[in-house]
Structure 1
Amino acid sequence: MTLSTIRKVFEGVADRRQMFRMFDRHAQRPNRWTGDDSVLYRGEWFEIDEPSHDYMFEVLPPLWMRGDMFAIREFLTGSITSIFFTLSIDGHIRHFHGYCDLGDKGSPERMRNAIIERESRPVRAMTRDERLEHIWSTTADDYRGYAGDRWPSVDRGKRTVLLYCGKEGAYLKRLDQLTDAEISAKLPVHLRYLPDAIAA
């Protein structure tokens, strides 16, 4: 489960229901309460709608506010907490949620800069990793999980999704091993034909 780095995990604007669901995209992870899971969350971000942003601002007094961002008082794990951004990108005000490590000085500013850089691209596109993260974010819990004891030891703990193969039935496959055709089949139609973006 090697993740980290700053990464977009959902294409489009999440409404409140989607936002709350993505707050803990890794709820099914093995050994949930026994290890430091900060690497799973650190750097994840996605766009949200304005009502969701405003709702989160009003739920609790923020831990801190700095111009275009505020931090949630409750920490998810270790020094990881939610940061909410209000950013002007190409003349439009947009809102985002990200998980930053407040133990890493400058983490919120780096995330803000990464979001602006990613969302300022002139052509709408997705990297392979963004496609996989979107699939993970939008797949129902019953159809995604983590490879367990029945998998080879090298696969254990890796993310899996359920695939349907017509007459052959359904089977689990590692998320990171999906073929381009399988990725396309799992994406909503409006995202299937976006060009590939070069990973930053």
Structure 2
Amino acid sequence: MTLSSIRKVYQGIADRRQMFRMFDRHAKRPNRWQRDDSALYRGEWFELGEFEHDYMFEILPPLFIRGEMFAMREFLTGSITSIFFTLRIDGSIRHFHGYCDLADKGSPERMRDAILERETRPVRAMTREERLEHIWSSTADGYRGYAGEHWPTTDRGKRTVMFYARPGGTTLKLLDDLTDAEIAAKLPVHLRYLSERQAA
């Protein structure tokens, strides 16, 4: 599984419990730490509350503080670390967390700009990718996983989610293979009928 680009991975404002779950959405991946999985995390971002933002600021002295952002001193993997943002958007102060690669000069600034661009759109909409990432982020570990040895070789290691295929029956499906109807069924009601945004 290889993810890339800057991407919103959760819709809404993460509370403390959800924030800690989001910090390592890929914790159950196969062969964890046996290869460089920086691409899984690089570019992920989500919104959190002011309390959660301030809590993280007070845990350790930041690696750096630059205006509206600060970086965690501890690295997740390689040169990937948490960057926390406080941004004014449409007159409101909002808080965000993103994973940036500090070996890539300008990564935090590009993350900030991508968040501002995404959150200042006049029309609320979600791409298919954002819908899938929200499903992955909000599904409990017991109902999501990775395709193993019983799957075709080409699918092994891809993300799976439990889906209720019929009354009284469940099945595992590849996250990327969910149909539009299945995606809608897995999303909370307030996100089901947002318009489809074309990926940039």
- TM bin, normalised by shorter chain, reads over 0.9
SS at match of 1:70: strand
Q: Which amino acid is 1:198 matched to?
A: Q
CA distance in 2, matches of 1:8, 1:113: 13
Structure 1 residue 84, shift from structure 2 partner: 0.0
Number of matched pairs: 200
Gaps of 5+ in 1: none
Structure 1 residue 166, shift from structure 2 partner: 2.3
Structure 1 residue 168, shift from structure 2 partner: 6.4
Give the aligned partner of residue 4 of structure 1: 4
SS at match of 1:111: helix
CA distance in 2, matches of 1:73, 1:127: 33
SS at match of 2:195: coil
Gaps of 5+ in 2: none
Alpha-carbon deviations, 1:124-163, whole Å to 9, x = none? 1110000000000000000000001110000000000000
Give the aligned partner of residue 84 of structure 2: 84
Q: Which amino acid is 1:52 matched to?
A: E
Matched, 1:182 2:182: yes
Q: Which has the larger displacement, 46-55 or 163-172?
A: 163-172
Q: Equivalences for 1:58-137 in 2 at 5 Å?
A: 58-137=58-137
TM-score, scaled relative to structure 2: 0.99
Q: Which amino acid is 2:78 matched to?
A: G
Give the aligned partner of residue 42 of structure 2: 42
Q: Which amino acid is 1:140 matched to?
A: A
Alpha-carbon deviations, 1:53-107, whole Å to 9, x = none? 0000001000000000000000000000000000011111100000000000000
Runs of 4+ residues deviating >4 angstroms:
none
Q: Which amino acid is 2:100 matched to?
A: C
